[in-house]
Amino acid sequence: MYETILVPTDGSAGAEAALGEAVSLAGTFDATVHSLYVADTSAAQPETGYVDIVESFERIGEETTAEAVEDAERAGVEAVGAVRVGLPHRTILDYAEEVDADLIVMGTHGRTGLERYLLGSVTEKVVRTADAPVLTVRLSDEDEGGDEAGEENEDEATDDSAGTAAGTEEN
């Protein structure tokens, strides 16, 4: 069903959670995972040493995508890393077309945003405009490893949500 799964990454924990999801789907469907980092030109203004900043983004991108490829391969999944320069959402859409991605998996949030927004701006634009389906992954509160105490969900020990899905297909 899926052959080519694109996972855009900005090196954030949110993108890492997306990678985990993508790798397990890829394992199931025998798909190839593409880890794409976009060196964000909008975050580098001409006055602030544009070339240096973009180059340092590219280095970060090489490391980030190499790690993603390693993670995927360790799980027995074929993977490709790519670093591009440009506007993140535009570049993600172009790359998705280029490799003919049939699924895009990305974090609801990334490195730069505020948790109170429903979706990060890059993800929002990709969700709205991509031809391929987009799976968004929210980092669980535990994985966030945050020091923000609060929001305790651990009391919900009863899991009675299973067991209703099987057996009764009437149409």
Residue 89 to residue 86: CA distance in whole angstroms: 9
Q: Between the CA of residue 139 and those of 19, 45, 79, 153, what are the distances in Å?
A: 11, 30, 22, 14
Q: How far is the CB of 154 from Mn ion (least distance, A)?
A: 30
Any contact of residue 18 with ligand ATP (CB under 6 A)?
yes
Q: Which residues 80-99 are close enough to bind ligand ATP by CB under 6 A? A: 88
Q: How far is the CB of 160 from Mn ion (least distance, A)?
A: 38
Q: Between the CA of residue 87 and those of 16, 47, 90, 158, what are the distances in Å?
A: 20, 18, 6, 45
Any contact of residue 72 with ligand ATP (CB under 6 A)?
no
Strand-pairing partners, residue 94, are none
Q: What is the DSSP letter of 140?
A: P
What b/e readout covers 140-150, taking b as 16+ CB neighbours within 10 angstroms? eeeeeeeeeee
**CB nearer ligand ATP, residue 92 or residue 165:** 92
Q: Which stretch binds ligand ATP (CB under 6 A): 22-30, 65-73, 112-120, 143-151?
A: 112-120
Out of 25, 31, 38, 83, the only residue in the binding site for ligand ATP (CB under 6 A) is: 38
**CB nearer Mn ion, residue 112 or residue 129:** 112
Any contact of residue 2 with ligand ATP (CB under 6 A)?
no
Q: How far is the CB of 81 from ligand ATP (least distance, A)?
A: 12
What b/e readout covers 105-127, taking b as 16+ CB neighbours within 10 angstroms? bbbbbbeebeeeeebbebbebbb
Name the site residues for ligand ATP (rule: CB under 6 A): 8-10, 12, 14-15, 18, 36-38, 40, 88, 106-107, 109-113, 120-123
